[in-house]
A and B are shown apart, each in its own frame.
Chain A
Amino acid sequence: MNVFGIDALYYLSIVLFLPLLGAVVALLVRNSAKLVAALTAFLELALASLLLYATLTTNANGEVLGAPKMTIAVTADWLPSFGLRYALKSDPLSVWLIMLTALLLLIAVCAPAYNNSPHREANYVGQPAYYAGLLALASGMLGVFMADSIFLFYIFWEAMLVPAYFLIARYSRERGPAIAMRFILYALSGGLIMLAGFIGLGAVVAGQSSSFEGQSFGFDPDLWLQHLTGLNIDATTQTWLFLAIVIGTAVKIPLVPLHSWLPDTYAESPAPVTVLIAGVMSKTGVYALLRFGVLLFPLGAANLQPWLAGFAIATILYGALAALEANSLQRIAAYASLSHMGFIALGVISANKDGQTGAVLQMINHGVIIAALFLVAAMLERRSGSRNLTAFGGWGEKRPVLATVFMLIALATLGLPGLSSFAGEFLIMTGAWQARPAYAVLAVLGVILAAWYMVRMYQRVMHGPELTHPAPDMHEGEMALLLPLIVLFFVVGVAPGIITDSIIQMLNTVVH
């Protein structure tokens, strides 16, 4: 299989490891680390765009009989005697997330680090390790989306925590090590429980399949996936295995009550790190829940659906109420993100095509919107020197660009029709209603609350009596940073079909 004349194995590997390579180079050149990082991220975005094109046009008309549409899958032996493969895949489910990762990586490395608060002993901005960390984190997350072997997936799932840990621990505004410790303990514990689920799945498959005879350990994902439909794992076993995977993913999404690492991590990390963690890493959780949870264990998912839907709705409502209560820009954004991730999880759990399509679409939207929200919050904080809503007021009068941009982001967050979130949330609601009308009824409260907390945030900053403050309007650099994201609000808002068509096609072939 080829991508633009290059063997797909190499092309996918380049897309996967280019940021990591950039990280090494950034560490070596030191002085111009930011330049190296920006160039790497730009190249990565270009390669990812080409991959997107190639994926969506692969056998789009079904030229090769039996070949899966819109899927580029490659595999190479890694450890044959162990049944391990180095297998990568790009299909509509993952390729949009690869695009999102590449885009947000570019924005994260180009953005200022926004962490020069008075509390810091030293300002780390410009340090090569910072840029290397961002790049390595991107590689880890790309690996999660691209892996076509449960085993390889798990390796990236855990490995991406290492750069994230160092980024949070070293560059946070305050209490970095403590916050990073909580973050990684949650994520590792969840990941290990997930690993137990995968090992259990391996044992179940190995126990039922004769093709594993003579092999010590069965970690051949292709065999697993082929056999799973034929294997008839009973509902009880499925439920337990699914539960293990849900716990691992629920920490990353996160779902209430496994969310307590989130507010500090999102609020205290430098904005670019939050852009990657809130924008992309939370999506790895939903992605895994969909691909390795709901699609793999339909009976288990059906058994646990009421519980999971309950937790997702709790997440939506808790996040929204906490955002209403919060007074710091970053914390409002963090809780808003939590609330919206609850919607996405609900879409996945509703286990029907509408809900899942909406969830995938909303993953992209949420990534774009939340990145913009955290960046604009950081820009506001940089101007006022404070993150508290009380430090703002009446800023809209003299800063029209800032006010407009902030308004657009707020409207996109609350799901105004015509902007990107609307289509995604609408599909999720439809899916949730089909699963059980009560889900949709309860979840819709979250939409109302979203309007409330976003408008509250906007009003407190931009309206009211003006506080005399010499803060300037947005400058060109900041506009350039946010422009691609805002353009996407409109493009996806007007034509969500760009994304959803391919996903619906894919889900048609996966879900029977």
Chain B
Amino acid sequence: MPNISDSDWLSIVPAIILAGTILLVLLADLIPAVKRSALAGLSLLGVIAALIYSAIPLTFNSSPTGAFVGQVRSDDFGWYLTITLLVGGAISVLVSADYLERTNLPRPGEYYALLLSALLGMVLLATAAHFMTAFLGLELLSLALYILAGFAAGRPVSREAGLKYFMLSSFATAFLLYGIALLYGATGKTGFADIAHALTTANDLRGGPTLLLVGAGMIAAGLGFKVSAVPFHMWTPDVYEGSPAPVSLLMSVGTKTAAFGALISVFNGALAPMVSSWLPLLWAMAALTMIGGNILALAQSNLKRLLAYSSVAHAGYIVVGVVANSREGVTAALYYLTAYTVMNAGAFAVAAALERADGTGTDLASLRGLASRRPGVAAALAICLLSLTGIPPLAGFFGKLTIFSAAFQSGHAELAIIGVLMSAVSAYYYLRIIAALYQPALSPAQLTTNADGGSVIPDETTSLPLTVALLLTALGTVALGIFVGPLLDGATQAARAIFPLANSIIKVQGLTKLTAWFLKSTIHHT
């Protein structure tokens, strides 16, 4: 057995905490006296514990190739994504607590265990330094999400979402696996660093460039499916609309962040030496995704479906960061992922707050006049949507700014211009929602009657966990914009794990993580 040191274990502590929490939740679920809210609290504690661990700066030795003989990343890139994922996970748990209580979904124990499993899979995928770990994480998150998507089994659309996601995702996973096999065939390696090394030394390549290119294409398709990039986005609207809203939330922010982590690791890391061959592929993916997502979103009149297409569009902007293939590009993509996590989670949290037990309540007509009924909820949604539009000084604006600026600097001005034009298009569909929120309300009679009369608790209550989630996301969206410094420094630091500074050797001395960046920049500012 190769020697595994303490630092190897220390670098996967968040995953261990999550796994432990899953077991605890399942155990607690066996005790009849344990209530739904207690399960939610337990899950939240687990996520927060993992988050605290990830955010505390620790210093220990770590190998540049990754922990466990190059299986798992133990660098700032991995930590940055872990923190982002856990933030998204925590918001998802908070929103779920409100949602389960309100809609009375059965089997809460299994729900939270699956939610945390999905989160665990995301963390593994994002921090993978090896295709084996990446695939393991991908499968874990997918399996949990298949079930979660169909969790509201009483609704046909939810069952449909589960089945659809399962069928299409299995197909995409097969592509990914085939791509991994082809890359292995060409290079004889499956570790990211090993592949990059093999590609630069070039004399032990087998099968020539074709094998590599087809392999890279397959991997792009597999991961492109997970980030919902055009043309692999078809499942997104149906699944996001049909799944229970808190699950859509986790899918939209978590899966995307994790899969982009892998995409960056693979294309900007492992396959960076053959950038000229995969560039056209991802270039087209970025352009198509930005255009397709935004154009298709124009016609939507359901908040969840609209957010699904909008999430496609945002995937397009982030792919631009990958295409830039530079430290700036990765920095921008990482910053964007965090900003997107916060603002999109906020928007989906509002969708969850409005969704009734029968799955209705998120269409444009129900949103009309929300501002006069629930001003706080409407304001949170308005802030998140303005940020998604890219209005300064909110988080989304800086995301777009850094992405487009990275595109310009790496000579892809055309992508920046497409992105800018498509942002203008996106303003229409986001603002349409905001306009509806602030229109005079429909009469109360029109609001309460619905076909099934299925609403359990009237719209007008906002529970504590939901309030916390909305406050966190809305204030976070504003704060990440105005005090953009610490996070951007963090993203820059993390990007150095992929693109080391030109005049310094790859040297991972320890973990300088968000808190450390924050402290540093605060001291710097004062």
Of A79, A158, A193, the contact of B488 (CB 8 Å cutoff): A79
Of A161, A166, A199, A200, the contact of B391 (CB 8 Å cutoff): A161
How many residues does chain A have at the interface if contact means C-beta atoms less than 8 Å apart? 40
Instruction: Give Cα A200 to B409, complex, Å.
Output: 8
Instruction: Give Cα A217 to B392, complex, Å.
Output: 17
Interface of B is mostly: helix
Query: Given A77-B525, A79-B484, A161-B391, A181–B428 Cβ distance below 8 Å?
Result: yes
Q: Is the CB of A188 within 8 A of B427?
A: yes
CB neighbours of B501 from chain A (8 A):
214
Query: Given A202-B405, A203-B408, A82–B427 Cβ distance below 8 Å?
Result: no
Question: Is A169 on the interface with B (CB-CB < 8 A)?
Answer: yes
Q: CB-defined interface of B416-453 with A at 8 Å, one 1/0 digit per residue?
A: 11001101100110011001001110000000000000
CB neighbours of A122 from chain B (8 A):
440
Q: Is the CB of A192 within 8 A of B405?
A: no
CB neighbours of A199 from chain B (8 A):
401, 404-405, 408, 416
Question: Is B492 on the interface with A (CB-CB < 8 A)?
Answer: yes
Query: Given A196-B404, A216-B327, A184–B427 Cβ distance below 8 Å?
Result: yes
Instruction: Give Cα A219 to B389, complex, Å.
Output: 22
Q: Is the CB of A177 within 8 A of B435?
A: yes
Instruction: Give Cα A420 to B432, complex, Å.
Output: 42
**Which residues of chain A from 63 to 83 have any CB-CB distance to chain B below 8 Å in the complex?**
77-82
Q: Is the CB of A162 within 8 A of B386?
A: yes
Of B386, B416, B438, the most chain A CB neighbours within 10 A belong to B438
Closest Cβ of chain B to A166, distance in Å, is 7
Query: Given A80-B524, A82-B485, A159-B391, A192–B409 Cβ distance below 8 Å?
Result: no
Instruction: Give Cα A162 to B435, complex, Å.
Output: 12
Q: CB-defined interface of A206-222 with B at 8 Å, one 1/0 digit per residue?
A: 11000000101101000
Complex: chain B residue closest to A180, CB-CB:
B435
Q: Is the CB of B485 within 8 A of A81?
A: yes
Q: Is the CB of B485 within 8 A of A192?
A: no
Q: Is the CB of B492 within 8 A of A188?
A: no
Closest Cβ of chain B to A433, distance in Å, is 37
CB neighbours of A169 from chain B (8 A):
435, 438
CB neighbours of A77 from chain B (8 A):
525
Complex: chain B residue closest to A189, CB-CB:
B424
Closest Cβ of chain A to B370, distance in Å, is 14
Q: CB-defined interface of B397-413 with A at 8 Å, one 1/0 digit per residue?
A: 10001101110110001
Q: Is the CB of A192 within 8 A of B421?
A: yes
CB neighbours of A207 from chain B (8 A):
409
Question: Is B489 on the interface with A (CB-CB < 8 A)?
Answer: yes
Question: Is A1 on the interface with B (CB-CB < 8 A)?
Answer: no
Instruction: Give Cα A177 to B397, complex, Å.
Output: 24
Closest Cβ of chain A to B173, distance in Å, is 35
Instruction: Give Cα A195 to B489, complex, Å.
Output: 23
Complex: chain B residue closest to A216, CB-CB:
B328
Closest Cβ of chain A to B327, distance in Å, is 7
Query: Given A192-B421, A200-B413, A165–B492 Cβ distance below 8 Å?
Result: no
Of B392, B409, B423, B431, the contact of A203 (CB 8 Å cutoff): B409
Instruction: Give Cα A196 to B484, complex, Å.
Output: 20
CB neighbours of B488 from chain A (8 A):
79, 81-82
Of B327, B408, B423, the most chain A CB neighbours within 10 A belong to B408
CB neighbours of B440 from chain A (8 A):
121-122
Instruction: Give Cα A407 to B333, complex, Å.
Output: 60
Closest Cβ of chain B to A146, distance in Å, is 15
Closest Cβ of chain A to B392, distance in Å, is 4
Q: Is the CB of A159 within 8 A of B392?
A: yes
Q: Is the CB of A162 within 8 A of B391?
A: yes
CB neighbours of B435 from chain A (8 A):
169, 177, 180-181
Q: Is the CB of A196 within 8 A of B328?
A: no
Question: Is B341 on the interface with A (CB-CB < 8 A)?
Answer: no
Q: Is the CB of B420 within 8 A of A196?
A: yes
Q: Is the CB of B331 within 8 A of A216?
A: yes
Complex: chain A residue closest to B435, CB-CB:
A177
Closest Cβ of chain B to A224, distance in Å, is 13
Q: Is the CB of A158 within 8 A of B392?
A: yes
Q: Is the CB of A154 within 8 A of B424?
A: no
CB neighbours of A196 from chain B (8 A):
404, 416-417, 420
Q: CB-defined interface of B316-327 with A at 8 Å, one 1/0 digit per residue?
A: 000000000001
Complex: chain B residue closest to A77, CB-CB:
B525
Q: Is the CB of A155 within 8 A of B392?
A: yes
Complex: chain B residue closest to A201, CB-CB:
B408
Question: Is A441 on the interface with B (CB-CB < 8 A)?
Answer: no
Closest Cβ of chain A to B385, distance in Å, is 11
CB neighbours of A79 from chain B (8 A):
484-485, 488
Query: Given A81-B492, A180-B435, A181-B431, A188–B409 Cβ distance below 8 Å?
Result: no
CB neighbours of A216 from chain B (8 A):
327-328, 331, 492
Complex: chain B residue closest to A207, CB-CB:
B409
Of B401, B521, B524, the contact of A195 (CB 8 Å cutoff): B401
CB neighbours of A166 from chain B (8 A):
438
CB neighbours of A177 from chain B (8 A):
435, 439
Closest Cβ of chain B to A273, distance in Å, is 16
Q: CB-defined interface of B365-404 with A at 8 Å, one 1/0 digit per residue?
A: 0000000000000000000001001111100010001101
Query: Given A79-B484, A155-B393, A181–B417 Cβ distance below 8 Å?
Result: no
**Which residues of chain A from 147 to 169 have any CB-CB distance to chain B below 8 Å in the complex?**
154-155, 158-159, 161-162, 165-166, 169
Q: Is the CB of B438 within 8 A of A158?
A: no
CB neighbours of B417 from chain A (8 A):
196
CB neighbours of B416 from chain A (8 A):
196, 199-200
Question: Is A383 on the interface with B (CB-CB < 8 A)?
Answer: no
Question: Is A185 on the interface with B (CB-CB < 8 A)?
Answer: yes
Q: Is the CB of A189 within 8 A of B427?
A: yes
Closest Cβ of chain B to A388, distance in Å, is 27
Given A81-B488, A206-B409, output 9 extra A-B contacts at Cβ < 8 Å: A84-B484, A158-B391, A169-B438, A188-B424, A195-B404, A195-B420, A200-B416, A202-B408, A217-B409
Binding site for B on A (CB under 8 A): 77-82, 84, 121-122, 154-155, 158-159, 161-162, 165-166, 169-170, 177, 180-181, 184-185, 188-189, 192-193, 195-196, 199-200, 202-203, 206-207, 214, 216-217, 219
20 CB-based A-B contacts, threshold 8 Å: A79-B485, A82-B485, A155-B397, A165-B431, A169-B438, A177-B439, A180-B435, A181-B435, A192-B424, A193-B420, A193-B424, A196-B420, A199-B405, A199-B416, A202-B408, A203-B408, A206-B409, A214-B501, A217-B406, A219-B405
Binding site for A on B (CB under 8 A): 327-328, 331, 386, 389-393, 397, 401-402, 404-406, 408-409, 413, 416-417, 420-421, 423-424, 427-428, 431-432, 435, 438-440, 484-485, 488-489, 492, 501, 521, 524-525
Sort A-B residue pairs by CB-CB distance and give the 6 closest, nearest first. Answer: A189-B424, A203-B408, A155-B392, A79-B485, A196-B420, A177-B435
